[in-house]
Amino acid sequence: MTLAAFAYQRPRSLAEAVEAMAEAPDARWLSGGMSLLPMMKLELAAPPALLDLSGVEDLRGIRDEGDFLHIGAMTRHVELARDPAVRRDAHLASLAAERIGDPQVRNRGTVGGSLAHADPAADLPAALLALDAEVEAVSARGRRALSVQDLLLGPMMTALEPDELIVAIRIPKHTGHRQAYTKVPHPASGYAVVGVAVAIHEEGGRVRQAAIAVTGVALKAFRAARAEAVLAGQAVDQEVLAEAAGLVCDGQDVLGDVYASAAYRRQLAQVVTRRTLEGLR
């Protein structure tokens, strides 16, 4: 399947990348290509130019920055899944990365690409929402930080300007928090029919902080605020968990499709949330 023609550049630095984008404003960033190239094959995207980010050193690497982990946008899913610092301080990100696609996809796909692509059933958005992660973005107009919450606007829609690129994500350390990601994959696509990411911080037998984020269920990944509120401050028992799980889709417009009706998906999200919470005990 021959792709339609496009121009190609591999900038060597962030400055060069930003400059190249200013000169070719309709260009698209290319990271792992795991979403963009299939979209071009299906003619869902026809960019006149691709700017390959793989040569930009500033987008690489995972760094400890005190209270945060700094994760370069070009970090591949396989690296995120295995990195010892991520596994220790932001385990949920590793657990979600491990569940993405297949080995070939995890070897190429990147954190920055996954967030920018904003598939409503993608795994990382849920994990990064639950971890209160922040995105660092750069354009010719400068650098800004925005929360993953503010980044995700809807299906394949983000708050990024077309010429802006994600440089890194910053995750506040969750060392010692109990974390889990449960995914019910669609049997054909492998994407989440329901994916639930949980991070719980307990002290003295009570929940100090509870984060629950859900993917695959609505038009974008979301935090289950009411379920979290039920857990906060509680000494957790079966009953509290069940109550929280029952509220996981509260206020959401739950998606229905040929594979999973809205009622089924809501039920599945509740069951998956309850089991995930129980599994952490």
Q: Which is nearer to other proteins, 35 or 179 (CB)?
A: 35
Asked if 186 touches other proteins (CB under 8 A), the answer is: no
Q: What is the dihedral of CA 181, 186, 192, 193, to 10 degrees?
A: -100
Q: Quickly count: other Cβ atoms within 10 Å of residue 204's Cβ.
A: 6
Asked if 3 touches other proteins (CB under 8 A), the answer is: yes
Q: Exactly one of 49, 146, 156, 271 binds other proteins (CB under 8 A); which one?
A: 49
166 binds, among ligand FAD, other proteins, none (CB under 5 to 8 A by kind): ligand FAD
Asked if 270 touches ligand FAD (CB under 6 A), the answer is: no
Asked if 146 touches other proteins (CB under 8 A), the answer is: no
User: Which residues, numbered 125-164, are part of the site for ligand FAD (CB under 6 A)?
Assistant: 160
* Residue closest to 210 by CA, chosen among 122, 277, 148, 134: 277
Q: Quickly count: other Cβ atoms within 10 Å of residue 163's Cβ.
A: 17
What one-character-per-residue DSSP string does 233-274 give? Answer: T----HHHHHHHHHTTTTT------SSS-HHHHHHHHHHHHH
Q: Exactly one of 123, 132, 136, 228 binds ligand FAD (CB under 6 A); which one?
A: 123
Three-state DSSP state, 156 = coil
**Which residue matches tokens 């993608």?**
122
Shortest separation between residue 85's beta carbon and other proteins, angstroms: 20
Q: Which stretch binds other proteins (CB under 8 A): 45-53, 63-71, 117-125, 255-263?
A: 45-53
- Asked if residues 163 and 25 have their Cβ atoms less than 8 Å apart, the reply is yes
Q: Please state the separation of Cα 170 from the chain's center in Å.
A: 12
Q: Which is nearer to other proteins, 6 or 264 (CB)?
A: 6
Q: Round to whole Å and give the CA distance between 141 and 155.
A: 26
User: Which residues, numbered 96-115, are part of the site for other proteins (CB under 8 A)?
Assistant: 102-105, 107-108
Q: Residue numbers of the site for other proteins (CB under 8 A)?
A: 1-8, 10, 30, 33-34, 37-38, 41-42, 48-50, 52, 54, 78, 102-105, 107-108, 190
Q: Residue numbers of the site for ligand FAD (CB under 6 A)?
A: 28-36, 38, 53, 73, 100-101, 105, 109-110, 112-114, 116-117, 119, 122-124, 160, 165-166, 190-191
